[in-house]
């Protein structure tokens, strides 16, 4: 919860600082065609979700991609679906890319979670992002009418907010780097992931004049949702119903773990599913490939349906504010085959490489 709070504060500061305007302008300078835009956008979203967590990027990314859709005459629903799929897929390769990966990293506790996740999941995630481009290219090439109106991306003239936001981002990257170096070479402090997020938010909470407004803008509903789900899932586990209903003795292969993660995440969402799975991880001594299969499966489950990931819900809620609905049917038409193919990619890679 500390990690989520810290990252949400950083995300709100990024949105309020006007950094999104600069990012949009830079993308437009480089992207001369819709294909260029789609490739760059998927890359930027994927890297951002891996570093800043997908739920945070979902909040600040929706107005950004809608602004780009308006400029390039791309159907707004198509670029929003691209945002959802890129957020989910890009977050697979990092222990801080999404809440379920963070839970897995905490219970797995490898020497360095960043290296462990990247070494096993980077290549299949790169292939999966290429699949997102291929699946969405046709939709984004349809000539789209302008969005109902251009989303208002704030351009903040407050130099102080620019500076503290930049300092916050620098601290985040520096602390992550220190953790990686310390885990692999020793002699340096290995900050817990929650402390990394909280320390990164400190410059904003202390130095920004808008600290109260930023705190009010934090997605408290999502934080309450996660806290409530953690309490509920612990109660479910303590009752013994989950252990009796799921045949954990058969969960010894990568395909089984991937399949169960994708399917069950549709019913109870991916974070609660991993929260239920945590004690099983601790007691069953799941292999490294099994841990990575759990991370990949529970994450790409968010590409199947809107309810598969909290980041999807955030994007849909944000889009409705701009008068752009996204239906379950439209999401599943692309999400179902995309998830199946991506699941095959992760299964093959984790079993044979």
CA-CA distances (angstroms) from residue 74 to 33, 67, 98, 107, 146? Answer: 11, 10, 28, 42, 8
Residue ranges of alpha helices (H) inside 210-253 are 211-217, 220-239, 241-245
Q: Count up the domains in the chain and report the number.
A: 1
Distance between CA atoms of 23 and 43, rounded to whole angstroms? Answer: 13
Q: What angle do CA 246, 248, 250 make, to 5 degrees?
A: 110
What pTM did the predictor assign? 0.81
- DSSP string spanning 318-332? HHHHTT----HHHHH
Cα Rg for the chain, rounded, in angstroms? 20
For residue 251, what are its two tokens?
Answer: 């969960």
Q: Look at phi and psi of residue 109 and say left if phi exceeds 0, alpha if psi is from -120 to 50, else beta.
A: left
pLDDT tens digit at each of 353 positions of the chain: 787 788 888 878 887 887 777 788 888 888 888 999 999 999 999 999 998 888 878 878 888 898 888 888 889 999 999 999 999 999 999 998 998 998 888 878 787 888 999 999 999 999 999 999 999 998 888 755 444 445 555 555 678 888 888 898 888 888 877 877 765 555 455 667 778 888 999 999 998 888 898 898 887 877 887 788 778 777 877 787 766 776 665 667 899 889 989 998 887 778 878 877 776 666 667 788 989 999 999 999 999 999 888 889 888 877 887 788 888 999 999 999 999 999 999 999 999 88
Distance between CA atoms of 19 and 15, rounded to whole angstroms? Answer: 7
Q: For residue 14, what are the domain limits?
A: 2-352
Answer positive or negative: Cα dihedral of 125, 127, 133, 136.
negative
Distance between CA atoms of 146 and 149, rounded to whole angstroms? Answer: 7
| pLDDT value of position 277 | 75
Helix axes 288-300, 76-90, angle to 10 degrees: 170
| pLDDT value of position 284 | 64
| pLDDT value of position 336 | 96
| pLDDT value of position 85 | 97
| Residue that has been written with the tokens 């620098």 in this structure | 170
| pLDDT value of position 147 | 45
Contacts of 176 (CB under 8 A, 6+ apart): 51, 96, 114, 196
Q: How far is Cα of residue 337 from the mean position of the Cα atoms in its chain?
A: 20
Residue ranges of alpha helices (H) inside the chain are 2-16, 19-30, 34-52, 54-72, 76-90, 99-108, 113-141, 159-185, 193-207, 211-217, 220-239, 241-245, 254-268, 270-284, 288-300, 310-321, 328-352
Q: What's the 3-state SS for 12-33?
A: HHHHHCCHHHHHHHHHHHHCCC
| pLDDT value of position 246 | 67
Distance between CA atoms of 142 and 75, rounded to whole angstroms? Answer: 7
């Amino acid at each position: 919860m500390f990690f989520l709070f810290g990252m949400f504060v950083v995300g709100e500061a990024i949105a309020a600082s006007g950094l999104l305007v600069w990012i949009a302008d830079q993308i437009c300078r480089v992207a001369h065609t819709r294909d260029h835009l789609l490739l760059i956008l998927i890359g930027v979203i994927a890297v951002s979700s891996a570093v800043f967590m997908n739920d945070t990027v979902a909040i600040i990314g929706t107005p950004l991609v809608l602004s780009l859709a308006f400029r390039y005459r791309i159907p707004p629903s198509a670029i929003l679906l691209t945002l959802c799929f890129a957020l989910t897929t890009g977050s697979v390769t990092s222990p801080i890319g999404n809440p379920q990966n963070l839970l897995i990293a905490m219970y797995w506790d490898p020497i360095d979670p960043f290296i462990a996740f990247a070494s096993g999941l980077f290549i299949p995630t790169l292939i999966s992002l290429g699949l997102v481009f291929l699946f969405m290219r046709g939709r984004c090439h349809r000539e789209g009418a302008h969005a109902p109106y251009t989303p208002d991306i704030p351009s903040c003239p407050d130099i102080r907010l620019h500076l503290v936001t930049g300092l916050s981002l620098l601290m985040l990257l520096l602390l992550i780097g220190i953790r990686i170096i310390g885990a692999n070479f020793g002699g340096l402090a290995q900050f817990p992931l929650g402390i990394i997020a909280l320390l990164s938010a400190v410059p904003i909470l202390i130095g920004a004049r808008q600290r109260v407004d930023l705190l009010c803008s934090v997605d408290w509903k999502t934080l309450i949702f996660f806290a409530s789900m953690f309490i509920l899932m612990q109660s479910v586990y303590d009752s013994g119903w989950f252990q009796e209903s799921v045949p954990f003795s058969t969960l010894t292969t990568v395909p089984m773990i991937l399949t169960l993660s994708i399917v069950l995440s549709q019913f109870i969402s991916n974070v609660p599913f991993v929260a239920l799975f945590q004690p099983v991880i601790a007691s069953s001594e799941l292999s490294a490939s099994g841990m990575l299969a759990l991370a990949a499966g529970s994450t790409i489950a968010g590409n199947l349906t809107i309810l598969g990931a909290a980041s999807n819900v955030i994007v849909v809620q944000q889009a409705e504010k701009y008068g752009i609905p996204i239906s379950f049917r439209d999401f599943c038409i692309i999400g179902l085959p995309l998830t199946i193919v991506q699941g095959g990619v992760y299964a093959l890679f984790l079993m044979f490489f």
